[in-house]
Amino acid sequence: MSRNPIKGIVFDLDGTLVDSLATTFEAFNHGITLCGGREHSPQEIMHYFGPGEGEIFAQIVGQENAEKAYSACRRYLDQNLHRVPLHDGVRELLEELAQRRIPISIVTGRSWNTTEVILKHHKIMDRFITVIANDHVAKPKPSPLGIELALSRMELEPHHTLYVGDSHVDILAARAAGSRAVAALWDRVASREALAPHDPHHWASHPSELLALL
């Protein structure tokens, strides 16, 4: 048995628990083009990931248009929640973790508004000890502040936890917090090539593979 057994898991949201990125890119472009900006590729939008949606829009369309763009993005997401499913195997994983009484939380770069909408839509809000959105911390990932806040509420030491995410900022944040970083590869946008230089502790190609790490 490991000297540091895993006692809890913290998850990223987009691209990890939910298959949301394609719809998210569409929602961003809806807001951007409504404010006179050009349509951005998924790679261009992902380049801005880290801060919350409002800050991203401010960078792309200017502070004066950010609120209008974000409101349009939010409306688009509300109207297309049926196109933001849980990833295959996630609901089963959450049920198994509940049966094993493994505490879980979320730390996401999304704003609380859209995070809450997604989790309530899937009726999984009550599965998590805490949900930390971009609004809840002073600095976004790769800062460890969100993970540190979640772990304090879970009353767990970092070395007894996994942080599971699909992007390089997730791996960097996990390492900075002292958690074990798990690179999630099940989203269509996830790239082993992009994540490998950041040296995650573990790789997982399906949510069920996390159970072997407990």
SS (H, E, C) the chain: CCCCCCCEEEECCECCCECCHHHHHHHHHHHHHHCCCCCCCHHHHHHCCCCCHHHHHHHHHCHHHHHHHHHHHHHHHHHCHHHCCECCCHHHHHHHHHHCCCCEEEECCCCHHHHHHHHHHCCCHHHCCCEECHHHCCCCCCCCHHHHHHHHHHCCCHHHEEEEECCHHHHHHHHHHCCEEEEECCCCCCCHHHHHHHCCCEEECCHHHHHHHC
Summarize pLDDT for 23-46 with one digit per residue, the tens. 999 999 999 999 999 999 988 998
Q: Residue 184 pLDDT > 80, yes or no? A: yes
Q: What is the pLDDT of residue 107?
A: 98
Q: What is the mean pLDDT of residues 103-123?
A: 94
Q: What is the pLDDT of residue 51?
A: 82
Summarize pLDDT for 129-158 with one digit per residue, the tens. 999 999 999 999 999 999 999 999 999 999
Q: Residue 174 pLDDT > 60, yes or no? A: yes
Q: Residue 2 pLDDT > 80, yes or no? A: no
Q: What is the pLDDT of residue 43?
A: 86
Q: Residue 119 pLDDT > 90, yes or no? A: yes
Q: What is the pLDDT of residue 1?
A: 42
Q: What is the pLDDT of residue 3?
A: 67
Q: What is the pLDDT of residue 125?
A: 97
Summarize pLDDT for 48-94 with one digit per residue, the tens. 887 889 999 999 999 999 999 999 999 999 999 999 999 999 999 99
In which band, very low, low, confident or very high, does the pLDDT at 9 lie, cut at 50, 70 and 90?
very high
- Which of the pair, 171 or 48, is modelled with greater confidence? 171
- Which of the pair, 101 or 113, is modelled with greater confidence? 101
